[in-house]
A and B are shown apart, each in its own frame.
Chain A
Amino acid sequence: MRGMDEYHNGNEGSFSSEEADSVVKECIESVVGGDDYSQSQVNKWTASIVERCLTQLIKQGKPYKYIVTCAVMQKTGAGLHTANSCYWDTAVDGSCTVRWENRTMYCVVSVFAVAIA
């Protein structure tokens, strides 16, 4: 999307949190931007968000396996806490988490990228 293709030498293909962040934000916006929480649609939304994010990431053609998770929660004042921990190669693997909200719901999407040897 930006100038990352210019860096095509040797170790090109490291995971960029910033790029993943923008990809994820766009996917969330395109699926639920402007909608109010709807119990009958939320399953579709979470599935669409993960599928879109995954598709966009794969298109970048980097040598990675990806895991994308998405949680959508209705805003009612309840507490939601999430944590994650990874056992991998910190030199080449990476993750990014995007928190998004509108008036009626929260959406948290995490992307984990594991380098293929």
Chain B
Amino acid sequence: MTMEEYNSGDEVVFSADEASISVKECIEGVIGGTDYNQSKVNQWTASIVEHSLTHLVKQGRPFKYIVNCSIMQKSGAGLHTANSCYWDTATDGSCTVRWENRTMYCVVSVFAVAVAL
């Protein structure tokens, strides 16, 4: 939030903690308190990625973003995910948020790729 003060020279680093907080709020805002619902889940995943992306872009940092969201019904099935990135580890970054309630799991990943200025 006070990152604007760091506008000196080359301060362009992705903050995974800030992004995590932002994403958690988006998830809660869309599905907090609801039960898994097959007819709504497509709307939910779309809303979560859109809201998360909007928040990130509002931060006005020189990054391109990819936001990924998966929602799975809790039924005992196994779900495993992995990701691998080929980029500039000095400036690019990601964060993954895992959220759950009684009836579903939600996993959101944000990938931020620095834009050369």
Contact = CB atoms under 8 A, between A and B. Distances in A.
Interface of A: 37, 39, 42-43, 45-47, 49-51, 53-54, 57-58, 65-89, 93, 95, 110, 112, 114, 116-117
Contacts of A71: 70, 79-81
Contact of B113 (A54, A82, A114): A114
B78 A39 contact: yes
Contact of B66 (A54, A80, A112): A112
A85 B115 contact: no
Interface residues of B, number: 46
Contacts of A89: 64
B2 interface: no
B75 interface: yes
A104 to B, nearest CB: 11
A47 B82 CA distance: 6
A61 to B, nearest CB: 12
Contacts of A46: 80-82
B83 A70 contact: yes
B7 to A, nearest CB: 21
Given A67-B111, A80-B72, A110-B68, A37 B78 contact: yes
Contacts of A110: 68
A16 B93 CA distance: 24
Interface string B25-36: 000000000001
A102 B2 CA distance: 50
Contacts of A112: 66, 111
B81 A70 contact: yes
Given A57-B86, A87-B57, A78 B111 contact: no
